Amino acid sequence: MNLSPLQKARYQYQPKLPGMLRNGIADICVKEGDATQSVADQDKIKALFPNTYGKKEITFVKGTNTAVAKKQVVGVILSGGQAPGGHNVVCGLYDALKAADKNNVLLGFKGGPSGLLDDSYVEFTDEVIDQYRNTGGFDIIGSGRTKLEKTDQFMVVEDVAKKHGLTAIVIIGGDDSNTNAAVLAEYMAAKNTGVQVIGCPKTIDGDLKNEDIEASFGFDTATKTYSELIGNIERDANSAKKYWHFIKVMGRSASHVALECALETQPNICLIGEEVAAKKMSIAQITDYIANAVEARGNNGENFGVAIIPEGIVEFVPEFSALIKEINEMLAGSKTDEFNALPDWAAKYAFIKAGLTEESFKVFDILPQGIQQQLFLERDPHGNVQVSLIESEKLFSELVKNELAKRKLAGSYKGKFGQQHHFFGYEGRCAFPSNFDADYCYSLGYNAFMLIQYGYTGYLSKVSNLSKPAEEWNAGGMPITKMMNIERRNGEDKPVIRKALVELDGKPFKYFEAHREKWAIETCFTYPGAIQYYGPAEVCDLTTRTLALEKG
């Protein structure tokens, strides 16, 4: 295999573990904390999880290991979208298993949850694992988005576990995947299978976090990758002085990525979906907000700038959400076929006008035609608009362009407006993990084995105190049910992990809010540069601005 110099060097990197995990498996014991309850809907969650609800939080501390010695055969899956560091979770889990007993076995099930259902797996060896240490991607076993949520699926997993003698299953994934882990853990406990289920918190979107989970893995690397690219674009804009760059970044359900990139690069504009929703901002108000900055800079001779747009911004706009709901209703059932059979856009436009309320049609009609048509592209499996396909960066740049043309006619705008568009998504999902993510993920995997060894199930691997050096990190576990509430999904009440949104009274947003007016008008760009792997700790091991601000 041909390797780049960086690949070779990264294989040799030794991830840093929390202090208590460095003592050796034999010198780690458990300190139990308080019993837990779910964040909401306690009675309903407790009724759904009678065997795994209300368990205690635990912390690992230095002391004599009192776990019962037995051979462990553990299965692991990677679930959902890729995030930098996933390989190191697997490596940390493998190393801990082998440190406890070289006869322990780790099976990687291929292609995500479907690998468990299809019994498609690989047995990990030193030779396999050593090829993936400290690398990006999920290609060691692949990933998938199959949901484990039905009894017949759990029965298949139970049979596969019995066939291989599995003692535990580790599910590495986001909020939905760890919800599935909690449900699977409850099933296995209710059936007395002896199979434990442990989750690990993954998502670059940053929306799997709470008072216990300070950061999901991959967020650090992805935002550093995007921030490098945004900084490069800012430098180009400041050099050429002729374009406004509209940059969409990942984050459909929350704006953590956009906020972190703004804190890193100080762009002229950054929209925060949670603020848009809280203020009930309209499309026109958002357009005016951006246009005001463009006008002020243009009238000052600066016909360039950078605007960061979170991927899911339109879903936070109340009037746009109402429009989406009406379109979903309008095209329910056979109506989609009727709409698709219309001969041209003029006929489809008339169909749409007749089917929408007057308020929603007004919103629809201000959209550029290209965006209007994107709303009627291929539906998702539930027949709904695929909002993620909407090019929101082009939507707002076009609306701003139209608004500036009006202002030019009115004589208030003297500048020139040129647009460039970017979407940073896949670029960050499989990057070489930063030192932070390499260390954090390895610790999560190592820690997951400790939870298995001590017999816990339905727990999430937890590493905290992350704003400090790794030796000061704390390791332990928390019941997944602690993060859950009931939400309406596809017409049914479902137990799910509550997504963490940007807190508008939190320190990261407050810092952004205090500075954005200056950033909007002045050129205050900062250039983070590429992720650094070797050199001073203050450069190579620094955490996100979000975490640094949250933890003071």
Count CB atoms within 10 A of the CB of residue 187.
21
Q: Among candidates 317, 297, 287, 291, which has minimal Cα distance to 395? A: 287
Helices 151-164 and 175-190: angle between axes, nearest 10 degrees = 70
205 classed as catalytic:
yes
Enter the tokens of residue 547.
Answer: 């975490």
Q: How far is Cα 423 from Cα 255, in angstroms, rounded to an integer? A: 15
Tell me how far apart the alpha carbons of residues 419 and 430 are, in angstroms, rounded to a whole number. 29
CB-based contact 393:313 (threshold 8 Å): no
Angle at 303 between CA 301 and CA 306, to 5 degrees: 130
How many Å apart are CA 542 and CA 548, to the nearest integer? 9
Torsion of CA 266, 268, 272, 273, to 10 degrees: -150
CA distance 257 to 224: 10
- Kindly tell me the burial class for residue 410, based on how many C-beta atoms sit within 10 Å of its own C-beta (0-12, 13-18, 19 or more): exposed
β-strand pairing of 419-424 with 244-249: parallel
- Please answer whether residues 309 and 346 qualify as being in contact, where contact means their C-beta atoms are separated by less than 8 angstroms: no
Distances from the Cα of 325 to the Cαs of 201, 255, 311, 348, 362, in angstroms? Answer: 31, 22, 19, 18, 15
276: buried, middle or exposed (CB in 10 Å: 19+, 13-18, 0-12)?
buried
Sign of CA dihedral 543, 538, 226, 238: positive
The residue annotated as part of the active site, out of 95, 175, 176, 205, is: 205
Q: Is 141 helix (H, G, I), strand (E, B) or coil?
A: coil
CB-based contact 431:221 (threshold 8 Å): yes
Query: Please, where are the H alpha helices in 377-536?
Result: 392-410, 426-429, 435-453, 507-521
Nearby residues of 334 by Cβ (< 8 Å), 6 or more positions away: none
Cβ neighbours, 10 Å, residue 503: 12
CA distances 304 to 22, 72, 200, 237, Å, are 51, 59, 42, 6
- Helix axis angle, 283-299 to 507-521, nearest 10°: 50
Extract the tokens encoding 15.
């991830």
Q: Considering only CA atoms, which of 458, 396, 422 is closest in space to residue 188?
A: 458
Six-digit token string for 321: 């959400």
Catalytic residues: 205
